[in-house]
Amino acid sequence: MSERTAPNFGALLAPFIEQVPQQAMPRFLALLERGAAQRYREWAVEIPEHSEVLVACARREDEIADRVDAVWAIDASLHDQLNAPLPAARALYYSIFVGLDPWEQLDIQADAELQGAAAWRGIAANHSDARVVDELLHCARLEEESSRELLRIITRRRRTGD
C-alpha cells in the first residue's frame, strides 16, 4: 500500500459549492459531511477489524452536520438551491476512491478530514457570532480527531502488514 496524495477537495467541489447561496454554504457542507458519514459506514463493513474506529468517524461526521444545522439557520426558500448540486457533488467525492483499495481510500480520507477542519476554521474566522464560531471550531476538532484515528490505524497496518 502506497501513500496517496489527496486531491484538493475544496477546489474539486467548488463548482457545486458555488451553486449554493453564500448564506447556505455551511449547510451544504454539512450535507456533504453526512455523505462522508455514509462512506465511513461502508468502510466499516469493508474493514470489519477496524469498524469501531470507522463507525466513530461516521458519528463525528454526523455530529458535525448536526452542529452546523443547529447554528446555521437558512430560509426554507433556499432548500431546493441547497440540495440541487448535492447528488453531483457526492458522486464526485465517491469517484475519487474508485479503483483504490479501502486502505488507500482511508489514506486520502485522512487528509480530506484535515481539509474539512481548515474549511470550518476558515468559516469561523469570518463569523461574528461567538456561539457559531465555537461550534465551527468544535467541528474542526472533530475532523482532526477523525484524521488522527485514521492515521493511527493506517500506520499500525503499515507496521504490522495486516
How far apart are the C-alpha atoms of 90 and 95, rounded to whole Å?
9
CB atoms under 10 Å from CB of 88, counted, come to 13
Retrieve residue 128's grid coordinates.
461574528
pLDDT tens digits along 30-78: 999 999 999 999 999 999 999 999 999 999 999 999 999 999 989 999 9
pLDDT tier at 158, thresholds 50, 70, 90: confident
Per-residue DSSP letter, 10: H
Helix H segments across 2-127?
9-17, 25-46, 51-71, 79-83, 86-95, 102-125
- Residue 156's alpha-carbon distances to 7, 50, 79, 162, in angstroms, are 24, 11, 43, 8
Q: Is pLDDT above 60 for 2? A: no
pLDDT tier at 162, thresholds 50, 70, 90: low
pLDDT tens digits along 76-110: 999 999 999 999 999 999 999 999 999 999 999 99
Least Cα distance to 36 among 99, 89, 103 occurs for: 89
